Amino acid sequence: MINLATIPLFQKLHNSQNILLSGAGGGFDIYCGLPLYFALKAQGKNVILSNLSFTLLSNTSATEVFPSCWQVKATNQVLNGYNYFPEKYLAEWFLQQGELLTIYGFEKTGANTLKNAFNFIKDKHQIDTVILIDGGTDSLLHGDEEELGTPTEDSCSLAGAFCSAIPNKFLVCLGFGVDHYHGVSHYLFLENVATLIRTGGFLGTFQLMKEMTEFEKYKQAVIYANGRMRLHPSIVSNSIISAIEGKHGDHHETERTKGSELWINPLMGMYWCFQLEQVIEQLLYFDFIKSSNTFNELKDGLAEFRHTLTDFRDNRKMPI
């Protein structure tokens, strides 16, 4: 039974011991899971980190431990000198905190290939639970919306994790409003959440606050990564941190967003929690991508599904 004194996600995780926390949408998504990482570690859980990577991992000194799955350490380097490598800099930051950490990086691939990589990590670390982390909320889109944001990486992670043999599967989103930058309708996101409420897939929300130690550690990790990748600071995490610290409206923390209109708002610091099974039930193109073995096959599957549609759900604005 759920009551006001409990957070449903953590209640669901009560019996979990070996948890894989995985960035779903690529880039910096795993950073959005750091407050959860610290909270779960404080509860005595064993937490492994992974991330769908935007880095060309084959062009780094990281070790490929399974097809499309690489073991990233603080000492790894990008071999061509290009310094975009969020997973490596996160491992570096942890090392500075006195924690020797390995992060698994997934190259852009197909859902079936990613499923196998999830199963590899499951067997290696006796994983009983996977929590996918989306920086933003476009992972909740069904596929028939007029604008989908950046759906390919998210849907690859959703389908791969769902088809894996890991027993317990969840999706957590952080950054309500940040996908405004990519044209996503938050009216439709909320409509999709309403469907999950009806089907029992919604596990509630809870809020990060600037006074929380978990937030402070998250902020420090992002600041460190900003310094190491000055040309590519995270738009999502820097926006979320701005919102949690009380910024509002068209506030730009990085030069990368100049020239666009942002919607920094207090809801950006809220975690939205879902059971993955019900999310997949809403993913209208799941059958088009679940057997994909390459990233191009996954993109083709999504495009094939979109071509079957005769109408799209309009990008409505919230009527408030």
Sequence letter at residue 63: T
Structure tokens at 160: 């791969």
CB 203 within 8 A of CB 194: no
**Does the pLDDT at position 256 exceed 90?**
no
In this prediction, residues 18-41 reach a mean pLDDT of: 97
pLDDT of residue 257: 67
Helix (H) or strand (E) holding 239: helix 235-244
DSSP state of 303: H
Question: Is residue 180 a contact partner of residue 187, using CB atoms and an 8 Å limit?
Answer: no
Which DSSP symbol is given to 291?
Answer: T
Distance of CA 68 to the CA centre of its chain: 18
- For residue 177, the one-letter residue type is G
Of 33-37, 66-70, 82-86, 137-141, which gets the smallest average pLDDT? 82-86
**pLDDT per residue over 71-125, tens digit each?**
999 999 998 777 799 999 999 999 999 999 989 999 999 999 999 999 999 999 9
Structure tokens at 132: 């996918």
| CA 112 – CA 156 distance, rounded (Å) | 9
The fraction of the chain above a pLDDT of 90, given in percent, is 81
Report the phi/psi class of residue 277: left, alpha or beta, with left for phi > 0 and alpha for psi in -120 to 50. Answer: alpha
Residue carrying the six token digits 């799955």: 69
Residue 131, strand partner residues: 21, 170
Which domains does the chain possess?
15-308 (3.40.50)
Other CB atoms within 10 A of residue 57 CB: 24
Residue 173 CA to residue 204 CA, distance in Å, equals 11
Average pLDDT over residues 216-242: 92
Closest CA to 64 of 128, 132, 113, 129: 113
74 vs 95: CA distance, rounded Å: 7
Tokens of 176: 């309500």
